[in-house]
Amino acid sequence: RVMNAMVPRRVDAGEVIIRQGDMNAELFYIIESGEARVMKSEQGKRASLTHANDSANELDAPDTHQTPAYDESSAKCVATLGPGRGFGELALLYACARSATVVADTPMKVWTLHVHAFKTIKRSIAKREASSTLDLMGRVELFSALSEHQLVSICNASRRETYEAGDVVFNQGDS
* Cross-strand partners of 102: 18, 38
How far CA 75 is from CA of 2, 48, 85, 171, in Å, comes to 33, 13, 21, 51
pLDDT digits over 15-72, tens only?
999 999 898 889 999 999 999 999 998 664 443 333 344 445 444 444 444 566 777 7
Report the share of the chain in percent with pLDDT over 90: 49
Please tell me the predicted confidence (pLDDT) of residue 166: 92
Closest CA to 63 of 50, 51, 45, 76: 45
Is the CB of residue 62 less than 8 Å from the CB of residue 93? Answer: yes
* Cross-strand partners of 104: 36
